[in-house]
Amino acid sequence: MFDIEKIREDFPILGRMVNNRQLVYFDSGATAQKPLAVIERGDELMREYNANIHRGVHHLSGKMTELYEEARECVREFIGAEQREEVIFTSGATASINLVAYAWSERSLKEGDNIVVSEMEHHSNIVPWQMATERKGAELRVLPFDDSGELRMDLLDTLIDARTRLVAVTEASNTLGTCPDLEPIIARAHSVGAVVMVDGCQGIVHGGGRVAERGYDFYALSGHKLYGPTGIGVLYGRRELLEAMPPFMGGGDMVDKVTFAKTTYAPLPLKYEAGTSNFLGAVGLGEAIRYVKGIGVEAIDEHEQHILRVMTERLSSIEGLRIYGTAERKCPIVSFTVDGTHPYDVGMILDKLGVAIRTGHHCAEPVMTHYGITGMCRASIGMYNTEAEVETLARGIERAVMMLK
């Protein structure tokens, strides 16, 4: 049974006051709050087990290495990868995508080739591909979306052709909430020999993943959006692709043998984990995954979708408020503007009322350009949000509108 009150007790920050008001946190799309299980695990690790991994013969190093590799296996199972060697720990999804954009493109992208990205991507799934195409003399193509936030699937056959080498697409838009149907995109890409890079930052939190089953070639996620620590992320890649790519960074742990004549590299996954890994973050991410699984991915999704419906209906009743992203399949994100107001001003007034939302372009400026605006307000829902909090948000917006108009 999904017990919202019990869940809220697991997140201590939800009990604090902001500006003499009870905190209402609708910014989980930027970073989720952390349950006690993750907080206490991090404290325990630093108090009892802190030691560098992989190269130590002493007890603490061995124990931390064991915990680190257990976390890798936990991630592997959660995202649905077939082999632990396909799970690379990084500093975040941005690092994961940049790793692929550099290392994959070194050998697989040539002058005259093209990469296709969707119009709704986060900057982290646009800029690295711009850099790669500029470096290699390739073309960057854009798969647009319509005003409802649905990708233009009718353009797939035109945009993805024999010179397409990679398609970069989100599993769930961080701005519109759209969860595009990736099956036809993957099928079209694979039919011409292209690979697919999926941004799973929002998707993995809301029922995404199943990377092998769905045919993803690469998949990136960030731990801090999945109720885990900051500074830890994951790159999944099909083993044959990772084996063929050169290392992204050089240093300790990613080497087999080093001489001035030649260096050979460690096998996967260490080949891409140069330097001291964020072992505390990795173990913390594993703990967050265990927490999510303990509650139940389907139960969380059902609750969040209910709160999304309540929020969409309530905010739609506010005069002059426009919601951006009305696709049939959405993760629990509601982005909006209100006639006669600036998103920043709305966000500032809400903060004075103890309500946390995100304002601005949300690292998705092409989305703003599509709608001819400079920014939006975004309310993003976590497992701990309630109907009462939706009402607090709505009344706060109504108050902001009265003050600003």
H or E segment and range at residue 402: helix 387-404
Contact (CB, 8 A) for 155 and 103: no
- Buried b / exposed e over 112-145, threshold 16 CB at 10 Å, is ebbbbbbbbbbebbbbbbeebbeebebebbebeb
- The C-alpha atoms of residue 41 and residue 31 are separated, in whole angstroms, by 19
Contact (CB, 8 A) for 234 and 99: no
Around Cβ 219, how many Cβ atoms within 10 Å?
32
> 3-state DSSP call for residue 18?
strand
> 3-state DSSP call for residue 280?
helix
Contact (CB, 8 A) for 151 and 145: yes
The amino acid at 48: E
> 3-state DSSP call for residue 263?
strand
**Residues with a known catalytic role:** 363
Sequence-separated (6 or more) residues with CB below 8 Å from residue 367: 119, 120, 173, 175, 176, 324, 361
Where do we find the tokens 């995404």?
A: 208
> 3-state DSSP call for residue 56?
coil
